[in-house]
Amino acid sequence: HPDAFPGLVVAPDHLDRPAQEALVAELRAAQKVAPFFTPEMPRTGKPFSVRMTNLGPLGWVSDRAGYRYQATHPATGKPWPPIPASVLAIWEEFSGYPHPPEACLVNFYSPDAKMGLHQDRDEADLDAPVVSISLGDTAKFRVGGTARTDPIRSFELRSGDVLVLGGASRLAFHGVDRILGGTSTLLGTPGRINLTLRRVTKPG
Ligand code: MD3
Ligand code: FE
């Protein structure tokens, strides 16, 4: 049960269907400037099953050279599109953090995609929480503690859910076990989109 994780807050069904549809339309427009790319594992170059793009001043990328944040799309060299106002409003409502997010990572999961257990620790500012918004098919998500071997709990993330990871949960191991393909009609195609909002640099 999520209550067992201090700093982890789930707002089930926070976005209603019209708000989800409006957000999907904004993401489609942004994808024309910043198309999904396939990240690769550091060193090996093994492709991720999740495809990614970003919005905002900084975007998270991964390739043979490693993980990093950068201001431009790895394929087009263009700046990332801005984070939509509706998404900034969610950060303001849920983050409790007095500065805007710098990165909005957009993950696309086809029904066979998953994300292995990991920590988010590429950010210089770990005081800010991570805020996630789920759209489309339901995901089986798992979260543990700050050690890889800590007990793991699983729960489902559904379209419209907002998840906040702050405090003691900010460095928790987490991953996406599987996508329940066909559980949502939102995207008009099987799959799931997750937006992850993060502060990257320490405010000056
Ligand atoms: C729990 N994405 O992009 S978002 C990622 O659903 C990532 O696409 C997942 O993990 C997704 O790095 C999960 C929710 C999330 C984000 C950060 C967390 C959960 C977290 C940090 C600590 C614990
Ligand atoms: Fe993560």
Query: Model confidence over 144-172: pLDDT tens digits?
Result: 999 999 999 999 999 999 999 999 899 99
Q: Mutation test of ligand 1: which of 123, 162, 165, 199 has the most ligand atoms closer than 8 Å to its C-beta? A: 165
pLDDT band for position 2 (50/70/90)? low
Q: Tell me whether residue 124 is exposed, middle or buried, using C-beta atoms within 10 angstroms of its C-beta: 0 to 12, 13 to 18, 19 or more.
A: exposed
What CATH number matches the domain at 2-37+46-198, 2.60.120.590, 3.90.950.10, 1.10.3720.10, 3.90.25.10?
A: 2.60.120.590
Q: How far apart are the C-alpha atoms of 172 and 148, rounded to whole Å?
A: 9
- Residue 170 CA to ligand 1 centre (angstroms): 10
Question: Cβ distance 25 to 87 under 8 Å?
Answer: no
Sheet holding 174-180, edge to edge: 115-118, 174-180, 138-143, 153-157
Please report the pLDDT score of residue 204 as a whole number: 85
Write the DSSP assignment of 18-35 as a string of letters.
HHHHHHHHHHHHHHHHS-
> pLDDT digit string (tens) for 179-198?
999 999 999 999 999 999 99
8-47 pLDDT tens trace: 888 999 999 999 999 999 999 999 999 999 999 999 999 9
Taking a C-beta distance cutoff of 8 angstroms, is the pair 133, 195 a contact?
Answer: yes
Which residue among 120, 142, 169 is best mutated to probe the pocket of ligand 1, counting the most ligand atoms within 8 A of its Cβ?
A: 120
Atom 17, ligand 1: which residue's CA is nearest?
Answer: 130
DSSP lists the bridge partners of residue 8 as 165
Query: pLDDT digit string (tens) for 80-109?
Result: 999 999 999 999 999 999 999 999 999 999
Domain ranges of the chain: 2-37+46-198
Task: Summarize the confidence of residues 61-74 as an average pLDDT.
Answer: 98
Cα separation of 105 and 159, whole Å?
Answer: 17
ipTM metric:
0.96
Percent of the chain at pLDDT exceeding 70: 98
On whether the CB atoms of residues 199 and 102 are closer than 8 A, the answer is yes
For residues 80 and 61, the answer to whether their CB atoms sit within 8 Å is no
Closest CA to ligand 1's atom 8: 194
Residue 60 confidence (pLDDT): 98
Task: Write out pLDDT tens, residues 54-63.
Answer: 999 999 999 9
Residues in the chain: 204
